[in-house]
Structures are given as C-alpha cells and as structure tokens.
Structure 1
Amino acid sequence: MARMNALKGIALQIGATFVFTIMAAMVRIVSERIPTGEVVFARSFFALFPLLALLALRNEIGAAVRTAHPLGHVLRGLIGVLAMSLSFTALAFLPLADATAIGFTAPLITVALAAVMLGERVQFYRWAAVAVGLAGVVVMLWPHIGGGFETRESAIGATCALIGAFCTAGAMVQVRRLTATESTAAIVFYFQSLAAVAGLATAAWGWVLPNWGDAALLIAIGLFGGVGQILLTESYRFAPASVVAPFNYSAMVWSLLLGFVLFGEIPPLLVVAGALIVIGAGLFVILRERQLGVKREQDAAAGPPGGPAT
C-alpha cells in the first residue's frame, strides 16, 4: 500500500489530464483522415503495452486476467467503446475545448444514473448540483445547436459529445458494480482488450492505410492513452479521490491552450461560461462529499452517543 502523499497524487492527476488532452488533440488531427473505429483500435491496442509493462513490474498479470464476472466486463466494454467512439467523433467536429467541456458532464450524470441503477442514496444537494450542471450544459450547447449560427457539423459534434458523456457515465456505473468483486487491474485490462477487439471488428466497414505520419500518431494515441491511465490510477494510490478529483478539471486549461496553439481555436464565451457552471457543480459535489466523509470519520471515532459503555 503506497503511503499517502497529497502533492504527489495531485501532480499525477494533473499529469494524467495533460497526457489525455494531448491524446485528444492527436485524435482530432487524425480523425480528418482515419475512420473512428480504426482510431479506437489504435487507442486501445497500443495502450495495452504500457499497461501490461506496469502489471508485469508489479506481478499483477494474474490479477488482471482473473475475473468472476466476464459478462460484466463485456457490458462495461460495450458501453465504454460506444462512449469512446462518440467522443472521438465529437473531436472530429468540435473545437478541442468545446468537446472537453461537454465531457465534464459525465460525473454529474453518473450521480443520477447511480441513484436509478444502483439504488444509491443521493441527497438533495447532489441533485441540486446535477440540475445546475445540466443548466450549464444547455449554455455550452447553445452556440452549437440552439443559436442557429453554427454549422450542421457543429451540431453533430455537440450531440455526439453529450451522448458520449451519458455513455461514459453508464460505463462508470458499471465499473462501480465490478469493483465489488474485480480488481482494478482486471477492469482496466479487460476494457482495453475488449475495446481493441471491437475497434478491430470495424475493419470490415473499411479502414484506410495510414501514411507514416498518421501511423506514428495512431501509435502515440494508444501509448499516451495507456500512460494517462497509469498516471490517473497512480494518483488515487497517493491521495483520496476527494483530494485529487478536482484537478481533473485542469483538462479545460490544457484544452484551451492546445486548441489555440495547434488549431487556432477560441471557444465562444457561452461555451466557457457553461463549462465554468458545470465545473463549479462538479467541484461542489466533490468538496461536499469530502466534508461528509470527514464528519463520518469523526463520528465513528467518537463512538456511540453517551460515550463508551462502562
């Protein structure tokens, strides 16, 4: 068990978001020429190499292939592949920052789905945060589908990004179910493997032979995805989720910077405003959960009312 080190956990989380944003930028570049299914295959297959290297280093290969619920992994894989495909499609039609911002809705949607599908008790403040976050989504989407001054491609991208966020939330709910019996190594390994197989199956609908530059980008997409997954997982080894999770929103900073530098993109003010609303709602849920967690620990340490029995 790794010792708690909040600064290291935060640094790893920020590093993970940076790596994932670079990966998303590369997906945006190749998506102009490479089919989505081919990109999904590259993202998943080449990600296996750094992941398997880490598992081998920790002698966790056995834990990665051991499973009590193979069908649960299949369901998680199908939902996850759909989420990945939709998010990659969104990147082909939307500016990098816009696609990233809409993706921030996934954690809030997870709250609602967990209440419905897992029977989790969701307090009023969390439902209020979800409602506020969804209002932020409307603000973000307005320039793309409501204002009437964007292209058809922009509307398609925004729709794919939002549906992809719902699928990501669904995948997270399934991950919560799997964690009851499955190791983290198994959940990550089976998802990457199933996603690679699903991506490979799309070859029947026509892949293209990439040039050397695109081939290098496809390999890099997978490697960056694998490294990002490792950094993300490691961040939770060194600090509680309530500490490191807020720094996932640093992805908005990276996407704004990379979008401007690589593509000359400047998102509309409404998109930025909506993103800030969604981020604020997400941070409220995280910080409130942390406060409640501390209170529960204090109550447990204090013992039952009236003090210990004598």
Structure 2
Amino acid sequence: MAPLRGIILKLCAVMCFIVMFALIKLSADHVPPGESVFFRSFFALPVIVGWLAMKGDLSVGLKVKSPTAHVLRGCLGTVAMGTNFAAVALLPLPEVTALGYAMPLLVVVFAAMFLHERVGPYRFGAVALGLVGVLVVMEPNITIQSGNTIKSTQAFGVMLVLFGAVCGALAQIHIRNMVQVEQTSAIVFWFSMTSSVLALLTVPFGWVVPHGWEWVWLISSGLIGGIGQICLTSAYRFADASLVAPFDYASMIFAVLIGYFLFAEVPTIQTLVGALLVISAGVIIILRERHLGLQRGRARQAKTPLG
C-alpha cells in the first residue's frame, strides 16, 4: 500500500470530475444534457480502453457475466449523469456540488433498505445531520415567490440534482452486488459503453451541432472524465477506502474556485454552511465505517479454528 499515492490519485480524480462539470456547464446553454452525456461517455472510452490495455486487463474488461446487471447499472448511472448535467445549466457549480453530497448519505439509507445492512443510530444520526445540510442549501431555491421565474428555474435545478443523487445512490448499491461476480474493469468499461448507447436515444429530443469551442469542451469532458475514472479506480489500489474517501469533499474547494474564476459565481454563506454540515456528516460516517471495519478485523483474528 502507498497511502500518499492513493490520496494524490483521489484528489486528481476529484479535480478531473469538477473540471468535467465545468466543461459541460460551458456548453450547457446550447447543448442538451443527453448530447453532453454522449460526449462524456463516448470519448471516455479510448482512455479506458488504453488504460485496460496497458494493464493487460483488456480481455477481462470486455467479459460480462451478467449483461442485465450492466444494463441496469448503465440506466441508473446515465440518468444520474444526465440530471446533473442539466442542473449545472440552472445552478452555480458550488451548489450542484454541495447538493450532490446527498448521494453518499442516501447510500447508507438504501443499504439498510435493500441490502439489509445493519445501520445503527450513530450513522443514522449522521445521515440526519447531512440531510439538514442539504435542506440548508436547498432553502433559498425552494422558497419561490409568485411569478419569480428565476427562482422556479433554480428550484427545478435542485430537484434534478437530488433525483440524480437518488439514482447515483441506487447505482452504488447495485455495484456492491455486481462486484461479487463482475470485474471492476468490466464495470467501468461497460458503463461508458452503455451510457453512450442510451444517450443516443435522446437524439429525437433535439440534439444540436456544437459551435466552435463547444466541440473542444465536450470532447475534453469525455477525455478528462475517463482520466478521472482511472485515477479514482487506481486510488483504491494504493490506499484503504476509509483513508481516501474523505478527500471527495475537496471537490467543494475546486468547485468554489472554478465557479468563481470561470463563471463569476460567488457561493452564499448559506451554501457554505449547508455544505459544511453535509461534509461533517459524510466524514462521521466514514470514520464510523473505519471503526467498525477495525472491530470486525479484530474479531476475525480472535476467532479460534472452531469459532
């Protein structure tokens, strides 16, 4: 294990994903979300294929044991991606990022509901704290005065992010089952392939020909998204998940900086306070998971051969 390398790779992944969202936002006023999803997914494929080939895992990455499972994962992930891409056209980048932190909180809830994982009051309390933070971020956008079109648009953006968080959390729960029989490389490759095909189904709803720099932004979003996926996958090879997971929240720093310098977006105090509450909840859950993991490890070591 090389913890420092794992942390650096995780930070690179987080930075790549925020840059990817910024590139999508640059073209979001003209290019529909479904088309953006296609560029993000299709142009990630060469990066992923090249990575698998370099690792010697290309043949493994193409093997599928449960096509239905991959299609379901693709549908959930594609909807999550599309709704988030639609939301960045309606909301500032820091707000989309802060609201997106609801996803890991929902994973805890769904794990209890669908995987029957035991979730004690400690983690449920953290989830409640995080959801309060989400409500703090949401409140200015859902308090709509009569005839306020801007507020209505922002409220719709909030709903899109939260729906995307639900779909993303369900995808994570589904992946937990998939990794029992499928290779990680296959899950990564076939998600990009599936989402590319699913995105093509949105062509009848109004694709456009990108203008000038939009080609560069859209293609770059796919390439950078692919690099981010590789960095994310590689990070967990060099460090424990409980060590690198908190660095997900560095995305807020990157989102604030890119939002300010590229889009002149200044996050409100309320957004920052809400984000801090959600981040605190996420870190509490991560620390609790690490503690429980250590306890389970000591219990296994203490067992006798007959135990």
TM-score scaled by structure 1?
0.95
The amino acid of 1:271's aligned partner reads T
Q: Which amino acid aligns with 2:112?
A: A
CA distance in 2, matches of 1:302, 1:116: 31
Q: How does 1:18-57 map to 2 (within 5 A)?
A: 18-57=15-54
Shift of 1:299: 3.1
CA displacement at 1:110 relative to structure 2: 0.6
How many Å apart are 1:133 and its aligned residue? 0.9
Aligned to 2:141: 144
Deviation at 1:206, TM superposition (A): 2.2
The letter for the 2-side match of 1:116 is M
Q: Which residue of 2 aligns with 1:240?
A: 240
Matches for 1:244-259 after TM superposition, within 5 Å = 244-259=244-259
Which letter does structure 2 place at the counterpart of 1:261?
F
Q: C-alpha offsets along residues 139-189 of structure 1, whole Å, 9 cap, x if unaligned? A: 110011136586221111111111111111011111111111000011111
1:1-310 map, 5 Å:
4-146=1-143, 148=145, 151-303=151-303
Q: Cα RMSD (Å) of the superposition?
A: 1.4
User: Which portions of structure 1, spanning 4 or more consecutive aligned residues, are displaced by more than 6 angstroms?
Assistant: none
In percent, how many aligned pairs have the same letter? 43
State the alpha-carbon separation in 2 of the partners of residues 291 and 178 from structure 1.
25
Q: Counterpart of 2:277 in structure 1: which amino acid? A: I
Q: Is the 1:37–1:85 Cα contact (8 Å) retained in structure 2? A: yes
Give unmatched runs, 5+ long, in structure 2: none
Q: Deviations over 1:31-60 (max 9, x none)?
A: 111011110000000001110000011121
Segments of structure 1 that go 5 or more residues without pairing to the other structure are none
- Any idea what SS the aligned residue of 1:92 has? coil
Conservation of the 8 A alpha-carbon contact between 2:87 and 2:158: yes
Q: Is the 8 A contact 1:50 1:227 kept in 2?
A: yes
Q: What is the CA–CA distance in structure 2 between the aligned matches of 1:157 and 1:211, rounded to whole Å?
A: 25
Greater displacement, 59-68 / 8-17: 59-68
Distance in structure 2 (CA, Å) of the matches to 1:297 and 1:25: 41
- In 2, the alpha carbon distance for the partners of 1:206 and 1:33 equals 11
Q: Contact conserved, 1:51 with 1:230, CA < 8 A, in 2?
A: yes
SS of corresponding position for 1:151: helix
Q: Distance in 2 between matches of 1:303 and 1:194?
A: 44
TM-score (norm 2): 0.95
